[in-house]
Structure 1
Amino acid sequence: MASFDAFFKAATGEFPYGYQARLARDGLPAVVRAPTGTGKTGIILAWLWRRLEGPDPVGTPRRLIFALPQRSLVEQVAREAVGWLENLGLSDRVAVHVVMGGAGDSQRRWRLDMFRPAIVVGTVDSLVSKALNRGYGISRAMYPIDFALVGNGAHWVVDEIQLCPESTTTLRQLAGFTRGGGAGSWVTAEPTGLTCMSATVSVGLLDTVDNPAPAEGDVVRIEAEDRVGKLAVRLGARRRVGRLPVEPGDYRAVASEVLRRHRPGTLTLVVVNTVAAARGVHAALRAAPVPHTLLHSRFRGVERESLAVQISAVPAGAGHIVVATQVVEAGLDLDAAVLFTEAAPWPSVVQRAGRCNRRGLLDDAELWWLPPVRHLPYEEADVRATVAELTVLEGVAVTGEDLLDREVFTTEPEITVLRRADFLALFDTAPDLTGADLDVGPYVRDADDLDVQLAWVDWTPVDATGRPGPGMKAPEAKWRCRVPLGELRVFAKRAVVWRFTQAVGQWTRVTDRQPARPGEVLVVAASTGGYDPETGFDPSVRRPVPGCPSLDPIPDRVPVFDQAGGAEEAFRQDDASVAQGQWLSLEQHSVDVREHVEALVGAIGPVLPVSVLRAVAVAAYAHDAGKAHPMWQDALCALAVPGDRDRVDAGRPWAKSGGSGRLVYPDGTSDFRHELVSLLLLDGPLRGLLADVEDPDLVRYLVLAHHGKLRVQVRGPDDTDDDRLLGLKQHEVVLTSELLGQPAGTLTVDLDQFGLGGARSWTRTALGLRDRYGPFVLAYLETLVRIADWRASANLEKAS
């Protein structure tokens, strides 16, 4: 077993600080309180060592969810984690997934390889939405999988919690729901945990309804014995405070002072409170002889990544000026000799100050401040309190701990607390009859506006409205820009903005009646403007956006790996379960999936009863039985090349085709769902598969839910006929041949359980399972079956 010191040194080239070593030795606590610049990101290595090398790998969750404030740049943390893994030779064993960014195979691996360790890095709004079964920016069918993976076997680390109080409160509530295992608590299938990190928030503020404030022993702080070497230098770093002699909002004067006080060969950092102010200062520096960079949260991923690399790659001794917004308060490791900042709430000022003389190497670092023109986006009382405190500090050289110790008024935010009933209601992922969804915004809202992801693209319209074709998909994350809902509404008054509506299988326009929702991926024509690669999102820009991608048509054959990455087929399509490269029998695929789910269970070792795991294996075996329906088989066999048609017809039933193309059902039905037939077969000719199962309803549910389309509710987008449902007709009779070891029989379609009211109700059955097993475990069982299906379909090696 490698020591943590050696492990950390191999990853970073440095030895760990004392408190980092304590995290590795004792486990990740409820709270880490450490000033900015003291290596809190090293908690990733503490977790990784405990999982791979430490004293309690089984008790250490296999996934680390690293959540940064909404306005932060997450790519830097992800790059650091990737570099550490490369240095340790662990890139093949541990996946790094970047939510709302990143690229590469690792994006898929954290789901597909759910049995292996993974580091998931993202913004709190995106990650907490996953924890609420409403993941921003992913398809509805993917909600339960991500919900299961961040709620079971995951240790959450939330950095700079003072910047995301709503999300932090929600996560603490969720932790409270699984705490203690007593009455009213829900169990998880694998160990879970939560660590809150901050330099500026007291532990008492973490008290929530279902999760009391952490005890003193659950808090790790920088202690006296830690104050040695480089850490002691950093903690002793001083900056002399001064009021900038310019009028608020006079960005030309600010730029002039920045140039006058900039020190050749060093970094000068300017932090203002709004994107407009940052653009104003940056514009005034346009002719400056010193290299300068604008950085805020309203850039596309491709430019944001480039800017972050550009800033971090500035060689020592090279002068540079960075003009930024709050994005520098977390997630960026900057070390400025001179800092200029607008007054903001005290915790924000402390964070900004931590980017000045961060390494403690200067004796004459400077912190210059000025009041903002307006208090927004902050509370006016908070800004006033900071102005008063900074005035008192005029001419004083202060350390970060000096600033932390000062008691400065800060408004306590009004937070919407997640209650148990609200959380349970989120388990059902079906939209309402209008296609709308439950709004989780109040539980993750860490700013006045939540964001959407907007991409500028080119496409060939399919009709006079300019609509993209239904076979076109939004570009990858690097081409998307985060845009506040309020600013999008303004932009949409002159620009046509499109969303892909899965319920109808086509692109529809964002309107006042159908407004954008947080986390949605939207597209707009590049010719519309609204974005500049140097300044970011700007509705006033009218010129076309250069260098934009095209909307790529979805290929006729949808690879399984695309499905695993989140690009599942629209509601009406069943093709992601078709293409295999060669014809594969239904019997063989059923056996393969059962073996894969048994391998996953063996590799993971979830804390679940044997009877439950038996039900999962049976569900994996029976999940695709509905593909034996003649309608599905006729559509699949029609994909065979002419010379192979006789052999294919003779080999029925098949699970996967060796050809390509989309299923076209003989009677013109477009919304046939084979998983519904699988459920009905278990109620009829295949009921013998349930003979040795303790809870047959659990098997029935897992079979129905294995594509994430049909779960608590069963309805189609256009079902208005009480006698028809998803391509099936009430009381129709289907003859079945010998299947999955069960004799031939007759299926008589019975849809009564899916109607409203009555003694039998599928929704009542599903909700009963949710309450019996708990939402975390039931979603986890769904995920086991679905991941096993993906792995078998991709012909991957079995988990070990």
Structure 2
Amino acid sequence: MDGFEGFMRTATGHAPHPYQARLAAEGLPELLTAPTGAGKSVAGVLPWLYRRLIAAPESTPRRLVYVLPQHSLPDQLHERIGQWLGRLGCADKVGLYPITDGGWRRHPERTAILVGTHDLLLSRALMRGFGDATVMAPVSYALLHTDTQWVFDEMDLLGPALPTTVELQRLRDEVGTPSPTSTMWMSSDASLPTVARITRLDVDPAYYVDGLVGALTAAHVPGTQTIAVLNTVERARALYVALREAGRDVLLIHPGFRAADRRRLLSELGETGHDRIVVSAQALEAGIDVSSRTLLTELASLSSIVQRAGRCNRYGEHPEGGDLLWCEPPTGGDPDVARWLLAADRPPVRPDTPPRQELRLHDLLELFDTAELFDTAEPDTDVSRWICDAADLTMMVAWRNGKPSDEEPGPGRNELCQVPLADLRQRDQAWVRDRLDGHWRPAVAGDFQPGATVLLEAEHGGYLPDEGWAPQSRTPVTVLAVPPNTQTFACAKWVSLDQHLMETEEEARLLLDALPGLPAEQREAVARAARYHDLGKCHEVFQEMLRAGGGDFPDGLLAKSRAPYNTGRSRRPHFRHELVSALILPDGQPLINYLVAAHHGKVRMTVRPAGEEAPLLMGVRNGDRTPPIELSTGERFPAQSLQTDLFTIGPWTERAKTLLDDLGPFRLAYLETLVRVADWRSSARHDGPVSPDDGEPGRAVGDDSRPPGQGIGGQDEIQHGKWLS
């Protein structure tokens, strides 16, 4: 390849624009403004990738986080980036993940690209990830704030999130991160295309949908594609149905589809030469490369209008010009934008950003404590005010036949559908996984929170393959649950406690060697914490659980039991071995003790009894005895009586807050993450396929040390306190 020009030609088949070549030579700036359709998606990825792989690998962050506005569909962009990586021959070297795939967290040392919408990504950056497993919150948080290049596409469509993104970058610069993290905000010029005629439509609000059908029928040019972009999914769905009944070839695109249907629709959208009408609700404003001869838009914000207009005769493929039609929706619109559209001379302008409640350092520090996420009550901290407007809050739903059994896994990514939170607040026949005992139970009002996941009963409807989320539909929904006889992975051998501890330390040191930059003291704390992290498995409650399924288990202290004997059920349902590990370790090494306690994401800043278990604390009774432990390093831990007062009367929280003040939230979470990843990798050394005929497959031997498999919802959920593979 001949420099960046050859690099880009190989990836895309096109030479770079001068501004794209400048980014590859100089690095990504804080602000990039370019006309819509001028290749900003390419500019947000390939210059970074060129610098990371070729021009400046040591000074270029190893992770790129590409962020689209909330209502966008990242699928097409994800596919395009995958094609670029394939043509460049680096698909094996560079990880590419939708943010909903938790696999990206397993390889913090790998060069990787994450793609997602701003609601999912920013909630993770605030340690309250929408649709993310609660125990994974510190890991997502740590990696998104370390060694990462953020790119925000169409910053003017971010709403309340825009000042949040600015403040997060300022806070990273102020308190420090383990490795540099930067942000680039991208924006389109606020101007309309010169290759389209602009016409206002007057549509009677009393017959609005019928009026749109008539206008689109009259404006559509046979043999071409027409796009209609409405401001709400409800109106888009109604228009789609009306056009279909009128005999038109029509496609409906919005975020409320399950993955397979969404991929199918986007594939159809990518096919050119169709004589059809595409109806959308905001989903085409960013991240989708599509064009039309005629485009109709409802009056919206200036930024949205500009983005929608950029899909009209996008490539100049219609020499006679395109037609941009606009109308005022029944709910009204911004008169300033209307006047701007009607003006003969429309100078480019920057849209005003209304004042928002801004994130501050004290907010970030409060969010670091995740204990509230495991309470049965409604969480005290709602981060949605820093991310999106109330009308844009969403949840994730999936469908199952009847009441889910306690053995039934949570939904995987392919089952999930994003729906407006307002559509679910009064929903009956909804089920959630209890955060404490892992059982499915009927959802109550407090469960309907932004980003939460619920199961709905399929027989009551609510979804249609061509319309997506359809709350008025009573057609039974086709269930996409994973068949119960699917082969899974689990621990394939009995693993002693000493072996697991030594292997976890080894994995930690290998990981540290691949991630330079930490001070020697912190590196050693991570390695030592990895060595000690599971000492608490010596407790009789845990040892009984490992042997409860039977089998030819060996003598001595165990860390893992062999499938199919690893049932994962404890006589103390809330027992947390990492709490015991922290109690076994002597005082005087607060960072190591904290990292040991925090390695499953449940025992962190504040530790509370789980539900009604008091006087126990996470399954541990004050005065419980542990046996002596001898490690192959020669270290000995004598038998002792556990004193849970360290956690119940305040010293633990005060020590944790001191660490948080000294290291800062981004560094402390990163050190937690390194221990956890080392634990995942050492556990994976002994994983193997388990046949459904072997008993209960997929239990993680009584703990959640194996890495989650699905990311959003699904297999990241916990059953009886254990990971399902």
With the length of structure 1 as denominator, give the TM-score of the two structures: 0.81
Cα deviation 1:534-572 (Å, max 9, x = unaligned): 222222212212x222476699x984xxxxxxxxxxxxx
Query: Which residue is equivalent to 1:451?
Result: 394
Query: Which residue is equivalent to 2:178?
Result: 189
Query: Which residue is equivalent to 1:789?
Result: 679
SS of the residue 2:359 aligns to: coil
Deviation at 1:178, TM superposition (A): 2.2
Deviation at 1:720, TM superposition (A): 5.0
- Does 776-785 or 281-290 show the bigger shift? 281-290
Moved segments of 4+, more than 4 Å: 234-237, 287-290, 551-555, 662-666
Query: Which residue is equivalent to 1:205?
Result: none
CA contact (8 A) 2:436 2:611 kept: no
1:436 aligns with 2:340: no
Report the Cα distance in structure 2 between the residues aligned to 1:665 and 1:73, rounded to whole angstroms: 40
What letter is aligned with 1:131?
Answer: A
SS of the residue 1:368 aligns to: strand
CA contact (8 A) 2:598 2:604 kept: yes
Report the Cα distance in structure 1 between the residues aligned to 2:606 and 2:238, rounded to whole angstroms: 52
Query: Which residue is equivalent to 2:363?
Result: 422
Query: Which residue is equivalent to 2:201?
Result: 244
Q: CA 1:445–1:702 in 2, change beyond 3 Å: closer, same or farther? A: same
What letter is aligned with 2:121?
Answer: L
Report the Cα distance in structure 1 between the residues aligned to 2:134 and 2:485, rounded to whole angstroms: 18
SS of the residue 1:294 aligns to: strand
Query: Which residue is equivalent to 1:11?
Result: 11
Q: CA 1:657–1:796 in 2, change beyond 3 Å: closer, same or farther? A: closer
Report the Cα distance in structure 1 between the residues aligned to 2:626 and 2:321, rounded to whole angstroms: 84
Query: Which residue is equivalent to 1:509?
Result: 442
CA contact (8 A) 1:235 1:360 kept: no
1:653 aligns with 2:557: yes
What letter is aligned with 1:589?
Answer: H
1:672 aligned residue (575, 580, 597): 575
CA contact (8 A) 2:399 2:458 kept: yes
Query: Which residue is equivalent to 2:311?
Result: 355
Report the Cα distance in structure 2 between the residues aligned to 1:2 and 1:771, rounded to whole angstroms: 48
Report the Cα distance in structure 1 between the residues aligned to 2:321 and 2:603, rounded to whole angstroms: 64
What letter is aligned with 1:191?
Answer: P
Report the Cα distance in structure 2 between the residues aligned to 1:323 and 1:434, rounded to whole angstroms: 41
Deviation at 1:420, TM superposition (A): 0.9
Deviation at 1:27, TM superposition (A): 0.6
SS of the residue 1:276 aligns to: helix
What letter is aligned with 2:197?
Answer: R
SS of the residue 1:298 aligns to: coil
Deviation at 1:237, TM superposition (A): 4.7
1:593 aligns with 2:536: no
Cα deviation 1:305-331 (Å, max 9, x = unaligned): 2111111123xx332211112111112
Deviation at 1:588, TM superposition (A): 1.9
What letter is aligned with 1:123?
Answer: T
CA contact (8 A) 2:70 2:158 kept: yes
What letter is aligned with 1:590?
Answer: L
Report the Cα distance in structure 1 between the residues aligned to 2:644 and 2:590, rounded to whole angstroms: 16
Report the Cα distance in structure 2 between the residues aligned to 1:305 and 1:542, rounded to whole angstroms: 24
Cα deviation 1:583-634 (Å, max 9, x = unaligned): 22222221211111111111121x2210111111111111111222333223
Report the Cα distance in structure 2 between the residues aligned to 1:346 and 1:583, rounded to whole angstroms: 62
CA contact (8 A) 2:538 2:627 kept: no
Deviation at 1:89, TM superposition (A): 1.7
What letter is aligned with 1:637?
Answer: R
Q: CA 1:500–1:743 in 2, change beyond 3 Å: closer, same or farther? A: closer
1:534 aligned residue (466, 472, 481): 466
Query: Which residue is equivalent to 1:480?
Result: 416
Q: CA 1:539–1:700 in 2, change beyond 3 Å: closer, same or farther? A: same
1:367 aligns with 2:324: yes
CA contact (8 A) 2:41 2:287 kept: no
Report the Cα distance in structure 1 between the residues aligned to 2:353 and 2:450, rounded to whole angstroms: 24
SS of the residue 1:782 aligns to: helix
Q: CA 1:77–1:665 in 2, change beyond 3 Å: closer, same or farther? A: closer
Report the Cα distance in structure 1 between the residues aligned to 2:88 and 2:660, rounded to whole angstroms: 41
Query: Which structure 2 residues correspond to residues 102-121 of structure 1 after superposition, within 5 A?
Result: 107-121=101-115
CA contact (8 A) 2:594 2:656 kept: yes
CA contact (8 A) 1:237 1:359 kept: no
Q: CA 1:762–1:414 in 2, change beyond 3 Å: closer, same or farther? A: same
What letter is aligned with 2:589?
Answer: P
Cα deviation 1:226-264 (Å, max 9, x = unaligned): xxxxxxxx9975111112354345322322332232223
Report the Cα distance in structure 1 between the residues aligned to 2:614 and 2:458, rounded to whole angstroms: 43
CA contact (8 A) 1:69 1:160 kept: yes
Q: CA 1:426–1:360 in 2, change beyond 3 Å: closer, same or farther? A: same
1:392 aligned residue (336, 343, 347): 343
CA contact (8 A) 2:193 2:309 kept: no
Query: Which residue is equivalent to 2:229?
Result: 271
Query: Which residue is equivalent to 1:636?
Result: 546
CA contact (8 A) 1:719 1:726 kept: no
SS of the residue 1:777 aligns to: helix
What letter is aligned with 2:432?
Answer: R
What letter is aligned with 2:335?
Answer: R
What letter is aligned with 1:445?
Answer: C
What letter is aligned with 2:299?
Answer: A
CA contact (8 A) 2:547 2:565 kept: no
Report the Cα distance in structure 2 between the residues aligned to 1:370 and 1:429, rounded to whole angstroms: 46
2:255 aligned residue (290, 297, 300): 297
CA contact (8 A) 1:163 1:446 kept: no
SS of the residue 1:286 aligns to: helix
CA contact (8 A) 1:471 1:554 kept: no
CA contact (8 A) 1:675 1:705 kept: yes
CA contact (8 A) 1:133 1:146 kept: yes
Cα deviation 1:268-288 (Å, max 9, x = unaligned): 111122223222322232155
Report the Cα distance in structure 2 between the residues aligned to 1:419 and 1:769, rounded to whole angstroms: 20
CA contact (8 A) 2:145 2:172 kept: no
Report the Cα distance in structure 1 between the residues aligned to 2:239 and 2:112, rounded to whole angstroms: 40
SS of the residue 1:472 aligns to: coil
Query: Which structure 2 residues correspond to residues 8-407 of structure 1 after superposition, within 5 A?
Result: 8-42=8-42, 43-54=44-55, 56-100=56-100, 107-179=101-173, 185-200=174-189, 237-244=194-201, 246-248=203-205, 249-287=207-245, 290-314=248-272, 317-361=273-317, 362-375=319-332, 380=333, 383-393=334-344, 405-407=347-349
Query: Which residue is equivalent to 1:780?
Result: 670
What letter is aligned with 2:127?
Answer: N
Report the Cα distance in structure 2 between the residues aligned to 1:120 and 1:337, rounded to whole angstroms: 33
Unaligned runs of 5+ in 2: 688-725
Report the Cα distance in structure 2 between the residues aligned to 1:334 and 1:368, rounded to whole angstroms: 17
Report the Cα distance in structure 1 between the residues aligned to 2:369 and 2:182, rounded to whole angstroms: 25
SS of the residue 2:609 aligns to: coil
Q: CA 1:245–1:772 in 2, change beyond 3 Å: closer, same or farther? A: closer
Deviation at 1:15, TM superposition (A): 1.4
Q: CA 1:479–1:582 in 2, change beyond 3 Å: closer, same or farther? A: same
CA contact (8 A) 1:719 1:725 kept: no
1:706 aligns with 2:599: yes
2:479 aligned residue (542, 548, 553): 548
Q: CA 1:290–1:615 in 2, change beyond 3 Å: closer, same or farther? A: same
Larger RCO of the pair (alpha carbons < 8 Å, separation 6+): 2
CA contact (8 A) 1:267 1:337 kept: yes
SS of the residue 1:615 aligns to: helix
Deviation at 1:450, TM superposition (A): 0.5
With the length of structure 2 as denominator, give the TM-score of the two structures: 0.89
Query: Which residue is equivalent to 1:465?
Result: none
Query: Which residue is equivalent to 2:608?
Result: 715
CA RMSD of aligned residues (A): 2.5
What percent identity do the matched residue pairs reach?
A: 38
